[in-house]
Amino acid sequence: MDFQEMFKLQYTLDKRIEKEHGLTGQDLFNDKMLALLVEVGELANETRCFKFWSDKPASPRDVILEEFVDGVHFILSLGIVLGYNQDFEIPAPTNEKRNGSPTEKFLEVFDAASQLLKTRNREDYMKLFSVFLELGMILGFTSEDIFQAYTKKNEINHQRQDEGY
Protein backbone atom coordinates (compact mmCIF):
# COMPACT_ATOMS: atom_id res chain seq x y z
CA MET A 1 0.00 0.00 0.00
CA ASP A 2 1.41 3.38 -0.98
CA PHE A 3 0.91 5.34 2.23
CA GLN A 4 2.80 8.38 0.96
CA GLU A 5 0.49 8.65 -2.04
CA MET A 6 -2.54 8.27 0.22
CA PHE A 7 -1.27 10.97 2.59
CA LYS A 8 -0.62 13.24 -0.41
CA LEU A 9 -4.15 12.73 -1.74
CA GLN A 10 -5.62 13.25 1.71
CA TYR A 11 -3.58 16.40 2.31
CA THR A 12 -4.87 17.90 -0.94
CA LEU A 13 -8.48 17.07 -0.03
CA ASP A 14 -8.10 18.35 3.53
CA LYS A 15 -6.57 21.65 2.42
CA ARG A 16 -9.29 22.12 -0.17
CA ILE A 17 -12.05 21.52 2.40
CA GLU A 18 -10.38 23.80 4.94
CA LYS A 19 -10.01 26.60 2.40
CA GLU A 20 -13.48 26.30 0.86
CA HIS A 21 -15.21 26.04 4.25
CA GLY A 22 -13.22 28.80 5.98
CA LEU A 23 -11.46 26.40 8.36
CA THR A 24 -7.83 27.19 7.60
CA GLY A 25 -5.78 27.32 10.79
CA GLN A 26 -8.46 25.77 12.98
CA ASP A 27 -7.75 22.77 15.21
CA LEU A 28 -9.95 20.08 13.69
CA PHE A 29 -8.46 17.13 15.58
CA ASN A 30 -11.49 16.48 17.80
CA ASP A 31 -13.91 16.87 14.88
CA LYS A 32 -11.88 14.43 12.79
CA MET A 33 -11.64 11.98 15.69
CA LEU A 34 -15.41 12.05 16.19
CA ALA A 35 -15.90 11.63 12.44
CA LEU A 36 -13.61 8.58 12.54
CA LEU A 37 -15.54 7.04 15.42
CA VAL A 38 -18.83 7.61 13.60
CA GLU A 39 -17.41 6.00 10.44
CA VAL A 40 -16.15 3.00 12.41
CA GLY A 41 -19.63 2.63 13.90
CA GLU A 42 -21.17 2.81 10.43
CA LEU A 43 -18.70 0.17 9.24
CA ALA A 44 -19.60 -2.13 12.14
CA ASN A 45 -23.27 -1.63 11.35
CA GLU A 46 -22.75 -2.65 7.70
CA THR A 47 -20.86 -5.81 8.71
CA ARG A 48 -23.55 -6.67 11.27
CA CYS A 49 -20.85 -8.72 13.04
CA PHE A 50 -22.18 -7.83 16.49
CA LYS A 51 -25.87 -8.30 15.74
CA PHE A 52 -26.25 -11.72 17.33
CA TRP A 53 -30.02 -11.22 17.52
CA SER A 54 -30.50 -10.87 13.77
CA ASP A 55 -30.42 -13.26 10.82
CA LYS A 56 -30.07 -10.45 8.28
CA PRO A 57 -26.78 -10.79 6.36
CA ALA A 58 -24.01 -8.23 6.14
CA SER A 59 -24.13 -5.56 3.45
CA PRO A 60 -22.43 -6.34 0.13
CA ARG A 61 -18.62 -6.36 0.14
CA ASP A 62 -18.36 -3.13 -1.90
CA VAL A 63 -20.52 -1.25 0.63
CA ILE A 64 -18.38 -2.50 3.51
CA LEU A 65 -15.17 -1.60 1.67
CA GLU A 66 -16.43 1.92 1.00
CA GLU A 67 -17.27 2.36 4.69
CA PHE A 68 -13.84 1.02 5.58
CA VAL A 69 -12.04 3.55 3.38
CA ASP A 70 -14.12 6.35 4.88
CA GLY A 71 -12.33 5.42 8.09
CA VAL A 72 -8.99 5.39 6.29
CA HIS A 73 -9.65 8.96 5.12
CA PHE A 74 -10.07 10.18 8.68
CA ILE A 75 -7.11 8.21 10.04
CA LEU A 76 -4.90 9.73 7.35
CA SER A 77 -6.33 13.15 8.11
CA LEU A 78 -5.56 12.74 11.82
CA GLY A 79 -2.00 11.78 10.94
CA ILE A 80 -1.64 14.93 8.87
CA VAL A 81 -2.96 17.10 11.71
CA LEU A 82 -0.47 15.49 14.09
CA GLY A 83 2.42 15.65 11.60
CA TYR A 84 2.87 11.87 11.46
CA ASN A 85 2.60 11.58 7.69
CA GLN A 86 6.31 11.67 6.88
CA ASP A 87 8.36 8.50 6.33
CA PHE A 88 5.33 6.47 7.21
CA GLU A 89 5.19 2.70 6.93
CA ILE A 90 3.20 0.15 8.85
CA PRO A 91 4.24 -3.50 8.77
CA ALA A 92 1.68 -5.79 7.15
CA PRO A 93 -0.54 -7.54 9.66
CA THR A 94 0.63 -11.00 10.65
CA ASN A 95 -1.56 -14.03 10.03
CA GLU A 96 -2.30 -14.06 13.75
CA LYS A 97 -3.66 -10.50 13.51
CA ARG A 98 -5.73 -11.35 10.42
CA ASN A 99 -7.73 -13.90 12.35
CA GLY A 100 -10.14 -13.44 15.17
CA SER A 101 -13.44 -11.87 15.83
CA PRO A 102 -14.41 -8.73 13.92
CA THR A 103 -16.24 -7.57 17.05
CA GLU A 104 -13.04 -7.82 19.11
CA LYS A 105 -11.09 -5.94 16.43
CA PHE A 106 -13.72 -3.19 16.27
CA LEU A 107 -13.38 -2.78 20.03
CA GLU A 108 -9.59 -2.60 19.64
CA VAL A 109 -10.04 0.18 17.08
CA PHE A 110 -12.27 2.15 19.46
CA ASP A 111 -9.77 1.60 22.27
CA ALA A 112 -6.83 2.72 20.12
CA ALA A 113 -8.75 5.82 19.00
CA SER A 114 -9.57 6.67 22.60
CA GLN A 115 -5.90 6.34 23.53
CA LEU A 116 -4.82 8.58 20.65
CA LEU A 117 -7.41 11.15 21.69
CA LYS A 118 -5.70 11.32 25.10
CA THR A 119 -2.07 11.31 24.02
CA ARG A 120 -1.87 12.46 20.39
CA ASN A 121 1.50 10.71 20.20
CA ARG A 122 3.06 8.90 17.25
CA GLU A 123 3.09 5.47 18.88
CA ASP A 124 -0.65 5.60 19.56
CA TYR A 125 -1.34 6.92 16.06
CA MET A 126 0.61 4.03 14.55
CA LYS A 127 -1.29 1.60 16.79
CA LEU A 128 -4.64 2.99 15.63
CA PHE A 129 -3.70 2.77 11.96
CA SER A 130 -2.28 -0.72 12.38
CA VAL A 131 -5.31 -2.06 14.24
CA PHE A 132 -7.64 -0.52 11.65
CA LEU A 133 -5.72 -2.20 8.83
CA GLU A 134 -5.91 -5.49 10.75
CA LEU A 135 -9.68 -5.01 10.87
CA GLY A 136 -9.67 -4.54 7.11
CA MET A 137 -7.77 -7.79 6.66
CA ILE A 138 -10.23 -9.63 8.92
CA LEU A 139 -13.02 -8.22 6.76
CA GLY A 140 -11.28 -9.77 3.76
CA PHE A 141 -9.66 -6.74 2.15
CA THR A 142 -6.19 -6.79 0.63
CA SER A 143 -3.81 -3.85 0.61
CA GLU A 144 -4.60 -3.39 -3.08
CA ASP A 145 -8.37 -3.42 -2.39
CA ILE A 146 -7.91 -0.72 0.21
CA PHE A 147 -5.63 1.46 -1.92
CA GLN A 148 -7.88 1.27 -4.99
CA ALA A 149 -11.04 1.93 -2.99
CA TYR A 150 -9.35 4.81 -1.15
CA THR A 151 -8.28 6.56 -4.37
CA LYS A 152 -11.73 6.06 -5.89
CA LYS A 153 -13.47 7.48 -2.79
CA ASN A 154 -11.00 10.38 -2.69
CA GLU A 155 -12.08 11.31 -6.22
CA ILE A 156 -15.73 11.06 -5.16
CA ASN A 157 -15.02 13.32 -2.18
CA HIS A 158 -13.51 15.95 -4.50
CA GLN A 159 -16.54 15.63 -6.77
CA ARG A 160 -18.80 16.16 -3.77
CA GLN A 161 -16.92 19.35 -2.95
CA ASP A 162 -17.41 20.49 -6.54
CA GLU A 163 -21.15 19.90 -6.12
CA GLY A 164 -21.45 21.73 -2.78
CA TYR A 165 -21.76 18.63 -0.60
Provide the b/e sequence for 8-35 (b: ≥16 CB within 10 Å).
Answer: ebbeebbeebeeeeeeeeeebeeebbeb
* Over residues 118-131, mean pLDDT: 95
- For residues 151 and 9, the answer to whether their CB atoms sit within 8 Å is yes
Q: What value does the mean pLDDT of the chain take?
A: 92
> Is the Cβ–Cβ distance between 20 and 11 less than 8 Å?
no
Instruction: Please write the tens of the pLDDT for every residue from 50-75.
Output: 999 999 999 999 999 999 999 999 99
* pTM for the full predicted model: 0.91
Percent of the chain with pLDDT over 70: 94
Any idea which architecture 3-20+27-162 has in CATH?
Orthogonal Bundle (1.10)
DSSP string spanning 113-148? HHHHHHH--HHHHHHHHHHHHHHHHHTT--HHHHHH
- The ranges assigned to domains in the chain are 3-20+27-162
**Using the 8-state DSSP alphabet, how is residue 93 labeled?**
P
pLDDT single digits (tens) 9-24: 999 999 999 999 999 9
